[in-house]
């Protein structure tokens, strides 16, 4: 299975559809009689090729997961930009402490937590 191709100085990696391992249900470990051990069906990764059901080599799996992580970060940035464009602010409790809106903390007090 050749999924990494070199085109001159460029390195191209084909996207492999991934699925959860059926043996360990995506956990990467299976329960033995007295202990847990790495799943042999997925080499402990919890992911297998969706098409073949076989475990991927570690280097290829790292590349595939990195590509998916980059895609997820791009989607998050795109959604945050959309929210900012319509005037909605995304975030949690840290928004109460940042910016010029409330310099004295939540509720306008100056409690330091001591």
What is the number of other CB atoms lying within 10 angstroms of the CB of residue 19? Answer: 13
Residue among 30, 26, 64, 59 nearest 45 (CA): 26
List pLDDT tens digits, range 21-73.
999 999 999 988 899 999 999 999 999 999 999 999 988 999 999 999 999 99
Tell the residue number behind the tokens 């043996």, with chain if given: 23
> What's the rounded Cα separation, in Å, for the pair 68 and 15?
9
Query: What's the gap between Cα 20 and its chain centre?
Result: 14
Q: What is the pLDDT of residue 66?
A: 92
Question: What's this model's pTM, rounded to 2 decimal places?
Answer: 0.60
- Strand-strand pairing, 4-7 and 10-13: antiparallel
Radius of gyration of the chain from Cα atoms? 23
Residue ranges per structural domain of the chain: 4-90
């Amino acid at each position: 299975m050749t999924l990494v191709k070199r085109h001159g100085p460029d390195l191209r990696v084909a996207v492999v559809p991934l699925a959860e391992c059926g043996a360990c249900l995506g956990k990467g470990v299976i329960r033995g009689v007295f202990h847990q051990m790495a799943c042999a069906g997925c080499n402990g990764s919890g992911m297998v090729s969706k098409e073949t059901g076989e475990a991927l080599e570690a280097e290829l799996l790292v590349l595939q997961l990195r590509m998916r992580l980059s895609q997820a970060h791009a989607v998050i940035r795109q959604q945050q930009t959309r929210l900012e464009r319509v005037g909605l602010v995304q975030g949690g409790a840290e928004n109460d402490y940042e910016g010029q809106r409330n310099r004295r903390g939540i509720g306008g007090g100056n409690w330091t937590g001591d």
